[in-house]
Structure 1
Amino acid sequence: MHTPRDQTVFVAGHQGMVGSAIVRHLKALGYQNIVTTSRDELDLSNQQAVQDFFASTPVNHVYLAAAKVGGIHANSTYPAEFIYKNLTIESNIIHSAHRTGVQKLLFLGSSCIYPKMAEQPMREDALLTGILEPTNEPYAIAKIAGIKLCESYNRQYGRDYRSVMPTNLYGPNDNFHPENSHVIPALLRRFHVAKERGDAKVTAWGTGTPMREFLHVDDMAAASVFVMNLDNPTYQKHTQPMLSHINVGTGVDCTIRELTETVAKVVGFEGNIEWDPSKPDGAPRKLMDVSRLRNLGWSYAIELEDGLHNAYQWFLNNQDHFRG
């Protein structure tokens, strides 16, 4: 595996959870030429601005981690924003990267691209074989489009644009908004607030029976750089690149009930947990088949409870940003 640390690398979305983790990992590996832009400096949904940025900033590698993300509530409430923003950002970056001769790009997708009732664990070839989970279908369709954009530029122009499909991620720089966050930050915050107030109980959404897989974002960053730097056979125009779409996860899942009890333990909440079955559960199970990536030489390092401690400590250190 070739690791070109002298290459100029653009990390789109470096202020988000995944992008910031990728930047940390690249720096730890000794990369010196890392390009980042804030939202104020570059609006990734502005096509002309993105084209101008790539035209004036020569880069060798692009990590496309920028996206509008959220949990079940956010996806259900803002479907138009989720499909429009993500389609626009990925289209602008991928096309502009191609136009300016960027040969290598890594697009970060999501496990929600797979059908709701996909055979478990979900293999890469399950894509487009069934109906998506309705609660996040617009977001999933945008991510599927990103995969197909990468594949299409590879086939037509011989680019080396790869896609990684992470399972549910958590860790430092996560979104802890009380309504628009994913399950782990939502639970960490809810149990923390309950502990601080001395509440006797916490109400959790759904039945607690769905199975979910979780990956710490530092592991995701390590996997992303690993996949970007894997050697690949010489591409031929009009052929499918071998590494255009690959799952990233632990290959291990747990019930939402087990997760919730572990979060309560990590936070130190000693009250009762009650379940509200009127709230949506989402897909019954989402476990990634990660055998392809494991066979290529990468596997996760951070166990769930250890990762939860890390995420909770980050929240405690930054909770002034999440008050209200």
Structure 2
Amino acid sequence: MDTSQSPSILRRLGLTAAVLTAVMLLLEASAPAREPELDAAEAWNLQISKLGITPVYPPTEDLHVGDVWALLIPPALSRAAVSQEPLLTRAIRLGHSDQREAILASAHRRPVFAEVATENPALRTPRLEHSDLPESQRIPLALVGFPSVSRTLHAERSGRLSTLIGTLSGSASRSVVEEISVPEAHGYGIEPLAAATALQAWCRTRPGLCQEGTIRTLLSFALGREMVTPEARVELLMVSYVFATRHIRLTRHRSDDGQADLETNPDQVAGNQAKMKVIRASSSGVEAQNVFPRPVVIGFRSVTFAFESLPQGRSR
């Protein structure tokens, strides 16, 4: 190779390295692997609803079996899509029907097995409600095994560019894994038939309240007139079963990978061909654990009445 051309070759290779670095920066800045970020409520509701449970966000202890709610269903959304939205943005609580006797009757019909002590004191949840009532009149909690629910987002991008110097190619990818786990959960409630009967009885004592026009007016006051359109459906629901926990674990892990390659054109670099590669990889993770002093409700099941189908009921 002619040494008089070495500075020129070095300049070209230096320029190539700079171009290659710029390509990597562009890939990092424009990679479509950046999936739209879900806010906390959307992520929580999406994961919990996968289990066939109406999610509650933020989790609260102020939701009970026997609660009666008015529910708004926008015309453009399916019931499954509506259940993924925060409850307070689409419903209002109308009242409560005391279902203690029905809850106790349902619980007493179930067999009770011996308990196994947990080694973690933070996860020890009393099986009976905290009350001054005799033990036989206190509501027992049933153990619920919640599977970990995860969501994986993956996207990638690649490109190829021919230049005078040579051929540039690059690719970038991003993976995001979100996981919600509930190490220990409990539940209590009544059968759907009992809940449907209780909702009908509750409405019979409040004929002026259980009217579609009245419910639409109340929803308009609470949610806004622009949401309660004539096309939107309104329903009544009674909570028939609740799922509660004292421990919630949220994790999020993100990994990024990318590389850029250059294969030079021998005709432009004094008859010599060079290959260069830049590889980039990174990962990050966040974990949040919440331990509550008392159980908080994370989801529920209910029976619903659509006004056009009264007095027929529907469980979900």
More helix by share: 1
TM-score normalised to structure 1 length: 0.22
More strand by share: 2
